[in-house]
Amino acid sequence: MNFIHKNENEKFSDTKTQVSELNNEANFENEKILEAIIFASSEPLSINDLKKSCPFIEDIDVSINNLMAFYSNRAVNLVKIKNTYAFRTSPYYSIHINQKVEKKVKLSKAAKETLAVIAYHQPVTRTEIEDIRGVSLHKGLIDTLLESNWVSIGKRRNTPGMPVTYITTNYFLDYFGLTTVKDLPNFKEMIEAGFSADVKVEEIES
């Protein structure tokens, strides 16, 4: 009796281990499929993109999170840019990479400030930008920011005249290594001081 019982127990625990091992293996496999897909893509991919490529993976978020954790202590990290994912080298190792820096953009002080105003106050109208900076916008400045692909056009403001608004792009987040605009330096402080409205952020994030 005792013997049989023991044996059954063993059997049971064996099956259990096998099932969980199988699960683990399947999960690991999913993780690797995502790894290959994201690695091979030249653009950051959204969860939707990934779902299209792998309809068979049920909880993509879990696999993605595992993958992010796996790469977190490496020199190549899996980063989240708004709702998209991409591999980027860790800034910590930048000194060793002597890439030709082609993309280094020389922006005027006014352009940098205007970009920051758009980032912190988005969606923001031209008039609001001028009000915040206390100076009228130089011709061609918004043009430059649109061209650099950091800035795009948002919804029209529902006020008289329905003015055009400006917002930052995913590329802006990617460029500065941010996951969301909430990661901007001093973002919380700026909102708490009433310098930009919290409601707007939810609008952007949605």
Query: In the complex, which residues of this chain contact a copy of itself (CB under 8 A)?
Result: 32-33, 35-37, 39-42, 53-54, 74-76, 87, 89-90, 93-94, 96-99, 126, 137-143, 152-156, 163-165, 169, 176-180, 182-185, 189, 192-195, 197-198
Segment near another protein (CB under 8 A), from 3-11, 50-58, 60-68, 92-100? Answer: 92-100
CB atoms within 10 A of CB 14: 10
Q: Which does 174 bind (CB under 5 to 8 A by kind): another protein, a copy of itself, none?
A: another protein
Q: Which does 1 bind (CB under 5 to 8 A by kind): a copy of itself, another protein, none?
A: none
146 with 152: CB under 8 angstroms? yes
Q: Which does 54 bind (CB under 5 to 8 A by kind): a copy of itself, another protein, none?
A: a copy of itself
169 with 149: CB under 8 angstroms? yes
The residues in 54-83 that bind another protein, with binding defined as CB under 8 A, are none
Q: With respect to a copy of itself, which residue has the nearer C-beta, 43 or 61?
A: 43
52 burial via Cβ count (<10 Å: 0-12, 13-18, 19+): exposed
What b/e readout covers 125-149, taking b as 16+ CB neighbours within 10 angstroms? Answer: beebbeebeeeeeeeebbebbeebe
CB atoms within 10 A of CB 71: 17
